Copies of this chain bind each other. A is one copy, B any other.
Amino acid sequence: MTFPVVGMVGGGQLARMTHEAGIPLGIRFKLLSDTPQDSAAQVVNDVVVGDYRDLDTLREFARGCDVITFDHEHVPTEHLRALEADGIPVRPGPDALVHAQDKGVMRAKLDAIGIPCPRHRIVTDPRDVAAFAREGLADGEQGDGFPVVLKTVRGGYDGKGVWVVDSVEEAEEPFKAGVPVLAEEKVDYVRELAANVVRSPHGQAVAYPVVESQQVNGVCDTVIAPAPGLDEELALQAEKMALTIAKELGVVGHLAVELFQTRDGRILVNELAMRPHNSGHWTQDGAITSQFANHVRAVLDLPLGDPRPRAEWTVMVNVLGGDYPDMYSAYLHCMARDPQLKIHMYGKDVKPGRKVGHVNTYGDDLDDVLERARHAAGYLRGTITE
């Protein structure tokens, strides 16, 4: 057997769904998981339980893997370099991944390659934040320039590590962690978009249709593919931007580029993620090749699959934990109501607000597709009871 072994670091739902997508390819999948109960650890045969922050654990895990890839961006960059020095292909590699790990490095690189971003700079203390705010005032404009967005350059996700501050006093909190802080203008956007691309080591790349991503309390709630009413020119610009970033940063695998569509018709990069991403979950049921299947193909340097949609509209809605720990009994209602519904649950314990699954729906009528997905997600969560 010459079929390769893909080593996946991290046992979350992205690893779970990547394994699911890898099964048809006949490849072997090896998982490094924090616990035996992690989402992916429940469904993978070859599970190593260990701490990805420990280099010896990583090295031991990597033995017998043909390539290493990730469920998250938290593996220390220096550990990735050590694995590469051991001769293990790491995809995406540390030189690319650092841009998803450190928002300061990311902004500097995007500036250097001419990708439009919100106005930003690293700030040193609350007084510096106030100065950054004032720098945003137009000539002759009154006021203090607040609000400003502050982000720790490392460690944030799903709204954690991000503050929107209205005054110099409020700007004190982000500095308490002792991590460099990035200040950004609060962009006047009409909506958030995501441009998802996949790139392979030999440079082939594919772009998924640009989607609209709706956030609730800083957490992705709904994704609509393709983004409704998006100007073709702007969509093409967003796709090109994502392809350029993937190439210039040397990304291998799936790259999600989260974007702001501004009121004045521009597109600005918000965040990058170098792994399968929540904004690409719709592809499981809505695209010819899913983001997970293409991520596996990319890290193995196989030719990429067709990213085009299979339906006019596909909608993904996240299922967050609610007050009811039992979501399984809700299947009866949801499946009977909508025989076309696609449920994707992660095997995670229900905690209020935690992402425990998502649903996909597709069809020709966007209103109908949206209603079906929202109803199912709400019913599973327990916020809709009829």
Do A339 and B305 form a contact, CB below 8 Å, given A26-B357, A347-B26, A357-B26? yes
Could you tell me the distance between the alpha carbons of A172 and B343 in the complex, rounded to whole angstroms?
A: 54
Does more than half of chain A's interface fall in helix, strand or loop, or is it mixed?
loop
A328 on interface, CB distance cutoff 8 Å: yes
Whether the pair B41, A345 counts as a contact (CB closer than 8 A) is no
Residue ID in chain B nearest A21 by CB atoms: B20
Q: Contacting chain B: which of A1-9, A83-91, A177-185, A209-217?
A: A1-9
Residue ID in chain B nearest A293 by CB atoms: B342
Whether the pair A24, B344 counts as a contact (CB closer than 8 A) is yes
Whether the pair B335, A297 counts as a contact (CB closer than 8 A) is yes
Q: Which of B4, B23, B331, B336 contacts A16 (CB 8 A)?
A: B23
A306 on interface, CB distance cutoff 8 Å: yes
**Nearest CB on B from A319, distance (A):** 10
Residue ID in chain B nearest A326 by CB atoms: B2
A166 on interface, CB distance cutoff 8 Å: no
Each complex incorporates copies of this chain amounting to 2
Residues of the B chain whose Cβ atoms lie less than 8 Å from the Cβ of A331: 25, 302-303
Whether the pair A339, B306 counts as a contact (CB closer than 8 A) is yes
Whether the pair A335, B302 counts as a contact (CB closer than 8 A) is yes
**Nearest CB on B from A41, distance (A):** 7
Residue ID in chain B nearest A306 by CB atoms: B339
Residues of the B chain whose Cβ atoms lie less than 8 Å from the Cβ of A284: 24
Whether the pair B349, A302 counts as a contact (CB closer than 8 A) is no
A260 on interface, CB distance cutoff 8 Å: no
- Using a Cβ–Cβ cut-off of 8 Å, how many residues does chain A contribute to the interface with B? 50
Could you tell me the distance between the alpha carbons of A339 and B306 in the complex, rounded to whole angstroms?
A: 5
Whether the pair B45, A1 counts as a contact (CB closer than 8 A) is no
Whether the pair A335, B43 counts as a contact (CB closer than 8 A) is no
Residues of the B chain whose Cβ atoms lie less than 8 Å from the Cβ of A24: 20, 284, 342-345
Whether the pair B43, A29 counts as a contact (CB closer than 8 A) is yes
A329 on interface, CB distance cutoff 8 Å: yes
A44 on interface, CB distance cutoff 8 Å: yes
Q: Which of B2, B45, B342 contacts A42 (CB 8 A)?
A: B45
Residues of the B chain whose Cβ atoms lie less than 8 Å from the Cβ of A332: 302-303
A288 on interface, CB distance cutoff 8 Å: yes
A186 on interface, CB distance cutoff 8 Å: no
Residues of the B chain whose Cβ atoms lie less than 8 Å from the Cβ of A26: 327-328, 343, 345-347, 357
Could you tell me the distance between the alpha carbons of A344 and B21 in the complex, rounded to whole angstroms?
A: 10
Residues of the B chain whose Cβ atoms lie less than 8 Å from the Cβ of A55: none
A63 on interface, CB distance cutoff 8 Å: no
Do A25 and B326 form a contact, CB below 8 Å, given A43-B45, A303-B336? no
Instruction: Point out which of A1, A304, A336 has the most chain B C-beta atoms below 10 A from its C-beta.
Output: A1
Residue ID in chain B nearest A310 by CB atoms: B310
Closest 3 CB pairs of A and B: A26-B345, A303-B335, A303-B336
A contact set with B: CB distance below 8 Å: 1-4, 16-17, 19-20, 23-26, 28-29, 41-45, 47, 284, 288-289, 297, 302-306, 310, 325-329, 331-332, 335-336, 339-347, 349, 357
Q: Can you give 27 A-B contacts (C-beta < 8 A)?
A: A2-B325, A2-B326, A3-B328, A3-B345, A3-B347, A20-B23, A24-B284, A24-B342, A24-B344, A24-B345, A26-B327, A26-B347, A26-B357, A28-B42, A28-B347, A297-B335, A302-B332, A303-B331, A303-B335, A303-B336, A303-B339, A304-B339, A305-B335, A305-B340, A305-B341, A306-B339, A306-B340
